[in-house]
Amino acid sequence: MSRRMVLRTIWVLAAALATLGIGSTVAAQPEHATVCHRTGSSVNPFVTIHPSVNGAYSGHLKHTDDVIPPFEYQGGEYELNWPSSEVEVVDGECVLALQEEEEPPEVEPGPPIEGEPPFTG
């Protein structure tokens, strides 16, 4: 076999291996889901975690108090307690949802206190 034929064979094999991804040094990263994991704390009721979609499917979907926005796993789409009135996901992080503020009740002034001058505000 000539040197030219050997080099051509090596080039063809290298191209085929590169096409198949064999010998590639870059590994595919597993997909992750965003989970707003309930802590039970009144100060910090949720923490953000990013488990693999397998972990979110196999474990966190069983945590009935967690909030999980939609994610895909093995051809299906899954979510838990979504959308939520308690927490929102902003840039992949869980943040407490703003609650609508209620108007404070109107307070009627009471009768004047004996001996006190009237309030003129």
pLDDT tens for each residue of 25-51: 444 445 999 999 999 998 999 999 999
Residue 86: the pLDDT is 93
pLDDT at 5 over 60: no
d(CA 34, CA 47): 10
Quote the tokens at residue 2. Answer: 């000539």
Q: Which residue has the higher pLDDT, 111 or 34?
A: 34
Q: By C-alpha distance, which of 70, 71, 63, 69 is closest to 94? A: 69
Cβ–Cβ under 8 Å, residues 31 and 64: no
Residue 46: the pLDDT is 96
Confidence of residue 6 (pLDDT cuts 50, 70, 90): very low
CB burial readout 28-41, b (16+ within 10 A) else e: eeeebbbbbbbeee
pLDDT, mean of residues 10-35: 60
Q: What is the pTM of this model?
A: 0.58
Q: State the chain's mean pLDDT as an integer.
A: 80
Q: Which helix (H) or strand (E) holds 72?
A: strand 68-73
pLDDT tens for each residue of 76-100: 999 999 999 999 999 999 999 987 7
